[in-house]
A and B are shown apart, each in its own frame.
Chain A
């Protein structure tokens, strides 16, 4: 301020200091002076700010409120509302309803989308889901939960201010094509939220909204079958439960059914349209859920109870094992089932005492009998009446593997006595019955065992032993053994006679007494012929034994035993008769007489020596030598015969019947001893024409093939025994099998009982399964509740 400007006007120099009049202008003057352009700056700033504010306000969209049970995973200002995975809005606030029962989520929705959100719109919170259907929406673990909405493309009324959000995603979008039907079941077994609906094993729908019926105790579930599969739904469609697995002991044995492993956990139903002719259904049709496929198939027959034919069967004998629901089969097909079992008292009538009958009521489906679709019970009755006239009868038959379960069979019984359906009987027409056919395997085996037990094996063996005893006794008898001795003597004498004869023949050659000798030889020949016929009976006896044994082998064990016994008894009788015993004696006597005859001949020859019949004698000697040759040939057969007898003995030996074998051995030994005697050994060498008879006997024996017959008989017997033995051998195996089968059956049945091993295992398995499912459930609940804990470890 000390500064004095140089241009200070000096004119004011003397003038005292006075305050400079400040230039004062009023605001009005200032305004008139013009508003500075600088004011544009705040105006523009204001305009920009207001513009931004207006833009933000106008673009924020419509606010809607959705009520949820809880708001897990929803963060205001962050959680999005998505429609088909495109964000169309954002959660602005989360608050409670007035009664604190639910959570209201305020969502700011884009204006262009908000117009479509009407009362039919659905909202649900999308979270990671870990369920039996699998793990889904795992992406929301990272991105956080969001709200998904679903609505159609038509703006509708928005009457309510607060939309009600769903607790879980709906199975179907509201605009998905398909048909909703309702399943009714006695229990929720096999039903679960989201469980699949199968058609021939393909998933064609889902079920949801399980609930108890308001009217009765049944459980209802909504089933959505998507298009075009819903066209397969008709009134004839049946639904059945395929969850879990089933173990059944049925006519085909043990049955284990597991449809799908997933259905073990999550359940599921399958449907099929088994018979044609159903009407198309509309949405909301109620189907009854059947426990299994068999029941579903059977349910078709019982679908229209009014068209079922009910018949009564009156059985005189008590039937144990028939249960209600047992099938009724016709030509091997199920045509109905047993509906009731009762007892009917028939009052004493004329000449009849009071009867207690088992009253079985069966229901038959006319359609299953092959009648047309709209056939009624009356049609079925007339059809059956016609068949009954041709012999159709109802009878009880075994159905199970062990015949444990029974069923009713409608079969043609050709020899059945004539009968009719009593159509006017009350309460149901009465169908004639045939005796129960219990021809199951157990009864067959029982019968076989019974028949085997009835075989009289001991008596057969006793008879055979007796026969062998008799044969041995015959062979051992002194008379028989005397035969060779006598023969030798005879032959010796014959030799002497021959020597004489030779000398006589020498003389005769000159004397010509050959003619006489020839006559004498012919007489001897006739004598031997008679001896032959005496021996002829033996082969026929053996033959009869043979045929008897053969028939015994062929026909019946019991009859065989009896026949063999009888035959052996006969044989024993024949052998044991005095005549037979006397036979050797007679033979000896005959030989003796032959010897004396030879002596006579010798004497005669002595006389003839003078007679001069040498020429005839020469001829006779020729014949005799030819005869000797035949005898020699016959003697060749003797070892063969012995061999055969040996074979027979071996065969008998194989039977392993010690007694028989021993006896046979004794017999053979005796035979050998008999044949091995010196006398016998001398036989071939010393044979004379007097052995012609023995030769004939042996020839006859050979011709009659007695040994062969005996052999064959013994073979047959052996085969028979073999068969019996093999049959007896299989018996233990059979019984063992039955035992095993019974054990298995017992095991299976026991397993069904209390605390069986199988059941324990099953229970343990199910417990583990349940524990696994529980931990799985808790895990899934944790993840669903707090997806971020999955990552952040909280």
Chain B
């Protein structure tokens, strides 16, 4: 299978125009041309590491501080998992599932997916494997922005539930950590170069041999 790299070309990151490998800047859009290099994975790893680092306090520190009747009825500092457990205890399985998926499953899946992509990028792979990696990458990119839903929930709740004496909700320190974690993860996903997926494909696949 012929790739641009094998054809000695380099694609523009911004507009997609291919240039000979010697070109350093795209003469159509002026973007710097990067050859697909595994060195670019350093940024992925770095952003991912930062995201993971901030994900730890996001789970340990309280996400929400709720006060009912000025703290008389009870004031709770709920971490993410604690909130999910509390929701399950109250029987709100659906909401619990949504929160759990948005706050735990998705970020963890993103970490795993990006790590896997970064590890396998440039490794020899079959075309099917390459397509799988591409789909994973697309899902990660698509879902990344939705990971902020937790932070949005916290922000909206804090803004809405300010009933003074009766009840009030304040964002906890975990919200900031979680938002940073999601942001770093998105940066990590963005800094992944999908062209690396196509590196390491076999020269001729079985289909190629049969057709060509």
Q: Does A555 sit within 8 A of B, measured CB to CB?
A: no
How many whole Å from A674's CB to the nearest CB in chain B? 119
User: A20 at interface (Cβ–Cβ under 8 A)?
Assistant: yes
Interface size band for B: 35 or more
- Contact, CB under 8 Å: A42 / B38: no
**Closest approach, in angstroms, between the C-beta of B123 and any C-beta of chain A?**
11
Which of B50, B69, B70, B75 neighbours the largest number of chain A CB atoms within 10 Å of its CB? Answer: B50
Partner of A42, one of B4, B8, B9, B46: B46
What residues on A are CB-neighbors of B72 within 8 Å?
142, 144, 788, 791-792
A30 adjacent to B38 (CB under 8 Å)? yes
Q: Does B42 contact A (CB under 8 A)?
A: yes
Of A33-41, A290-298, A479-487, A644-652, the stretch lying at the interface with chain B is A33-41
A78 at the interface (CB under 8 A from B): yes
Q: How far is the CB of A53 from chain B (nearest CB, A)?
A: 8
Q: Does A28 contact B (CB under 8 A)?
A: no
Q: Given A3-B18, A30-B39, A38-B43, are A78 and B71 also a contact pair (CB < 8 Å)?
A: yes
| Interface mask (B55-94 → A, CB under 8 Å = 1, otherwise 0) | 0110000000000011111110100000000000000000
Q: Are A20 and B54 in contact (CB under 8 A)?
A: no
A39 to B199, CA, bound (A): 25
Cβ A41 vs Cβ B184 within 8 A: yes
In contact, A35 and B42 (Cβ under 8 angstroms): yes
For B203, the closest partner residue in chain A by CB is A19
Whether a CB of chain A sits under 8 angstroms from the CB of B6 is yes
Would you call B101 an interface residue if the criterion is a C-beta within 8 Å of the partner chain's C-beta atoms? no
Size of A's binding interface in residues, CB under 8 A: 37
Closest to B35 in A: A23
- Is the C-beta of B194 less than 8 angstroms from some C-beta in chain A? no
Q: Which of A3, A4, A19, A38 contacts B46 (CB 8 A)?
A: A38
Say whether, besides A5-B9, A19-B203, A20-B5, A45 and B53 are in contact (CB < 8 Å).
Answer: yes
B20 at the interface (CB under 8 A from A): yes
In the complex, how many angstroms separate the beta carbon of A720 from the nearest chain B beta carbon? 93
Closest to A44 in B: B50
Chain B residues with Cβ below 8 Å from A49 are 53-54, 56-57, 177
Closest Cβ of chain A to B205, distance in Å, is 12
Contact B5 A41 (CB under 8 A): no
Q: Which residues of B contact A1 (CB under 8 A)?
A: 2-4, 7
Is the Cβ of A7 less than 8 Å from the Cβ of B20? yes
Minimal beta-carbon separation of B196 from chain A (angstroms): 10
Measured between beta carbons, the chain A residues less than 8 angstroms from B38 are 25, 30
Q: Judge whether B107 is part of the interface by a CB distance below 8 angstroms.
A: no
Nearest residue (CB) in A for B69 is A792
B43 CB contacts on chain A under 8 angstroms: 36, 38
Residues in A1-50 with C-beta less than 8 Å from chain B: 1, 3-5, 7-9, 17-20, 22-23, 25, 30, 33, 35-36, 38-42, 44-46, 49
Inter-chain CA distance A8–B21, complex, in Å, is: 10
Q: Which residue of A lies closest to B54 (CB)?
A: A45
Q: Mark B193-212, 1 if CB is under 8 A from A, else 0.
A: 00000011001000000000
Q: Is B100 an interface residue (CB 8 A)?
A: no
Q: Does residue A741 face the partner (Cβ distance < 8 Å to B)?
A: no
> Nearest chain B CB to A1's CB is how many angstroms away?
5
Q: A49-B54, A77-B77, A791-B72 are in contact. Are A36 and B46 (CB under 8 A)?
A: yes
In the complex, the chain B residue whose C-beta lies closest to that of A34 is: B39
Residue in chain B with minimal CB distance to A33: B39
Q: In the assembled complex, how far is the CB of residue A508 from the closest CB belonging to chain B, in whole angstroms?
A: 150
Contact with B along A77-99 (1 / 0, CB 8 A): 11000000000000000000000
Output the nearest chain B residue to A41 by Cβ-Cβ distance: B50
| Interface: A378 (CB within 8 A) | no
Q: A22 to B5, alpha carbons, bound, how many Å?
A: 8
Q: Is the CB of A8 within 8 A of B8?
A: yes
Q: Does A449 have its Cβ within 8 Å of any Cβ on chain B?
A: no
Is A52 part of the contact surface with B, judged by Cβ < 8 Å?
A: yes
Residues of A within 8 A of B4 (CB): 1
Residues of B within 8 A of A20 (CB): 5-8
Asked if B180 is at the interface of the complex by the 8 Å CB criterion, the answer is yes
Residue in chain B with minimal CB distance to A29: B39
Min CB distance A34 to B, Å, is: 9
Chain A residues with CB under 8 Å of B171's CB are none
B200 — which chain A residues lie within 8 A by C-beta?
22
A127 to chain B, nearest CB (A): 14
* Residue positions of A touching B, CB distance < 8 A: 1, 3-5, 7-9, 17-20, 22-23, 25, 30, 33, 35-36, 38-42, 44-46, 49, 52-53, 75, 77-78, 142, 144, 788, 791-792
Chain B residues in the interface with A (C-beta under 8 A) = 2-9, 18-20, 35, 37-39, 42-43, 46-47, 49-50, 53-54, 56-57, 69-75, 77, 122, 177, 180, 184, 191, 199-200, 203
5 new A-B contacts at CB < 8 Å, known A5-B20, A792-B73: A1-B3, A22-B5, A22-B122, A38-B46, A49-B177
12 cross-chain CB contacts under 8 A: A1-B3, A4-B7, A8-B8, A19-B6, A22-B200, A35-B42, A36-B46, A39-B42, A41-B47, A45-B49, A49-B57, A78-B71
